[in-house]
């Protein structure tokens, strides 16, 4: 129960890794605020946590806009009084090399994957500082550190997330704000399944590419996120932690 009665905000929590993160924090006693642009998915995740005995409520928000980010944090602070952990997990993957992308693909990738972190952190940091500290865990990607072909918008935004994480950590560590990022490789999520279908490959094909013999699971990423947010990682700040099963980028 490392997070008993702590307030944890998880974005992109209507499925995949975000749902697993929210469930993991709730299982360790947190009061979880589940957020996503998909209102139905938000309530489904929150209801699942409550049915398992955890504490959760959903707040649908479009964090692709500055107003949506500010509104989410303001609503959480008004209802809960504080934010102990902020998990910036929401992300999109608009696939294609540069000439295959539209202006909308590029702009939306930055709005959701990077700009949202800027606005959410800027809104949450004053309350965290006033409370004497807090933890921020961002979801970057292995591809932000080692680019995969044909995903320039995703790769570039995730590389920026990695840099944002390290910069934020350096600036606010003196205020006891710990900022770290997880950098997953291939994880079995709805986003990955959609990409596999488009490519004509199978999950088994991906499994064979991983030295450990399989791709990762959302709950494994969630366990790492919870560790980074916990007091057990008290000296980790500015870290970019890969979770890949030793797979190199294909």
- Point out the residues that are catalytic: 154
- Name, in order, each residue with C-beta under 8 angstroms of 229's C-beta and a sequence gap of 6 or more: 3, 8, 25, 85, 87, 135, 137
Report how far residue 82's alpha carbon sits from residue 105's, in angstroms, rounded to the nearest whole number. 35
Report how far residue 67's alpha carbon sits from residue 61's, in angstroms, rounded to the nearest whole number. 9
Pairing of strands 85-88, 134-139: parallel
Name residue 55's beta-bridge partners.
31
Phi, psi of 244 (to 5 degrees): -135, -5
């Amino acid at each position: 129960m490392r997070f008993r009665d702590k307030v944890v905000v998880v974005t992109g929590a209507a499925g995949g890794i975000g749902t697993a993160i929210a469930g993991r924090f709730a299982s360790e006693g947190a009061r979880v605020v589940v957020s996503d642009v998909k209102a139905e998915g938000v309530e489904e995740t929150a209801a699942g946590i409550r049915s398992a005995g955890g504490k959760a409520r959903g707040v649908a928000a479009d964090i692709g806009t500055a107003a949506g980010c500010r509104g989410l944090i303001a609503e959480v602070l008004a209802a809960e009084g504080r934010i102990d952990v902020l998990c910036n997990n929401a992300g999109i993957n608009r696939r294609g090399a540069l000439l295959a992308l539209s202006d909308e693909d590029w702009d939306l990738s930055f709005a959701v994957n990077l700009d949202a972190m800027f606005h959410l952190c800027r809104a949450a940091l004053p309350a965290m500082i006033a409370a004497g500290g807090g933890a921020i865990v961002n979801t970057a990607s292995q591809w932000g550190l080692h680019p995969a072909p044909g995903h320039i918008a995703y790769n570039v935004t995730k590389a920026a997330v990695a840099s944002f994480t390290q910069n934020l950590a350096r600036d606010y560590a003196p205020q006891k704000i710990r900022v770290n990022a997880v950098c997953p490789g291939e994880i079995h999520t709805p986003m990955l399944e959609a990409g596999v279908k488009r490519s004509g490959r199978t999950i088994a094909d991906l499994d064979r590419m991983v030295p450990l013999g399989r791709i990762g699971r959302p709950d494994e990423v969630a366990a790492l996120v919870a560790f980074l947010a916990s007091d057990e990682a008290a000296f980790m700040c500015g870290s970019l932690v890969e979770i890949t099963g030793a797979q190199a980028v294909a």
